[in-house]
Amino acid sequence: MSEITSSSPEQEAQGAISTHKVDCCIVGAGPAGAMLALLLARKGISVMLLEKQMDLDRKFRGDSVHPSTMNILDQLGLAEKVLQLRHTKVDHVTFPLPDGTTSTVDIGHVLKKAGSRYPYMIMLPQVLFLEFLTNEASRYANFHLVLGARVEELVEENGQIQGIRYRLHESGHDSKHEVRALLTVGADGRFSRMRQLAGFTPIKTSPPMDVLWYDIPRYPGDPEDLQANIKNGHIAILLNHFDHWQGGYVIPKGSYQQFHAAGLEALQSSLADMLPLLADRVHCLQSWQQISLLSVESSRLPCWHRPGLLLIGDAAHVMSPVAGVGINYAIQDTVVAANILSQPLKEGQMSDDLLARVQRRRELPTRLIQGLQAQMQKRIVQNALQSGEVFHAPLILRVLASISLTKTLLVRFVMLGLWPVHLKD
């Protein structure tokens, strides 16, 4: 059970800190943090989930939920509830070939043959997904969500991480808080504060790139499926969000100021050329404030843990947006962590060996998918960005695209993972 010792405003003004005691403190209420909190709370483990923002809404976060995640939600009895949220289904992926034609991968057919109950991925606004997970977790009295909590330092004693200290702004003043926990989990994403505080240095696994994200209207009669093209040294993608498309436009790393200086008309013209669907609506992009710059890098930590501390999801292995696997690999991390750590947490025991087991179980799938992403970026993305010419797929991709078995294995790997991850009872 959690314990909370509060300080009066006068004590806080003098620097007093209110102390919270829980079994597990999770920093970061993204998909990894929210899912882990739910999995632990339903096991009777006291959990405090901290999020630095005042809400769960983020602009231009990943929205793809793969069958691997749907299978986990199905085990929890929550899959059908998720499907009641506003979403779109993707069961085909189309990409361009060198001769100007396209190749379509029927991922639905592959997943049905694999026996998946959910032969598609869904595009679900991440804020709806996070609100759903935290609402489910809030059904348990041993779960606490704190918004606006900015972690400032780790609590460390005798080489063991004992929790964190954070600052909370509420009612017009700042208050200081300390959370003591048997296990502290960093699930605070690609720019992880917990990773920095722990002194971990990631290893880069693929070339960096920048992506311009924007929203643009979606009209009646528009196609349902994901739209993409690689042309004239640029890469563009459109994701179906019901009444609008979420667009991504890949540019060379560090070239944003150059694009900005060229003006919106140049960007509008390039988008209309690459995606003719947008020709009658690019004028809706009237200001650079409608466009967000996302700096993309892929990296991983050699070690995900210290005594009393575990990092998961993008905090441990930053995923490239290639193939949209970030959310799903993060959630697979949480399932493995919950399977291995739930009973020790209930018994009040935790060891670094247990945390190492989580990393060992997840490291190979993570390395393999990052390797695939790196090859795609190096051979396709970087080639397109640097050449400034019409895209010509490398020989290996042309061979893979022509082999049915290879397509099948690739779809299963991306959509379901290297091997299935299941919740233990």
- State the average pLDDT over residues 275-302: 92
Identify the three-state secondary structure at position 69.
helix
* pLDDT score recorded for residue 397: 47
Alpha helices in 199-281 (DSSP H): 256-262, 264-274
Given a cut of 60, is residue 144 above it in pLDDT? yes
d(CA 89, CA 303): 36
Identify the CA nearest to 105 among candidates 418, 413, 419, 320.
Answer: 413
d(CA 394, CA 383): 9
Residue with tokens 């704190």: 146
Given a cut of 60, is residue 399 above it in pLDDT? no
Q: What is the mean pLDDT of the chain?
A: 87
* Residue, of 74 and 294, whose pLDDT is higher: 74
* Residue, of 164 and 293, whose pLDDT is higher: 164
- Token pair listed for 267: 């960007």
* pLDDT score recorded for residue 11: 44
* pLDDT score recorded for residue 185: 98
Q: How many CB atoms lie within 10 A of CB 141?
A: 11
d(CA 326, CA 378): 19
Q: Rounded to 5 degrees, what are φ and ψ at 5?
A: -110, 115
Q: Rounded to 5 degrees, what are φ and ψ at 89?
A: -105, 145
Residue with tokens 């944003």: 256
- Please write the tens of the pLDDT for every residue from 374-390: 887 776 555 655 555 44
d(CA 269, CA 265): 6
Q: For residue 193, which amino acid is it?
A: R
- Which pTM was predicted? 0.88
Lowest mean pLDDT among 101-110, 303-312, 404-413: 404-413
Q: How many CB atoms lie within 10 A of CB 425?
A: 5
- Please write the tens of the pLDDT for every residue from 207-238: 778 889 999 999 999 988 778 887 766 788 88
Handedness of CA 403, 409, 410, 411 (dihedral sign): positive
Given a cut of 50, is residue 159 above it in pLDDT? yes
Identify the CA nearest to 226 among candidates 243, 238, 217.
Answer: 238
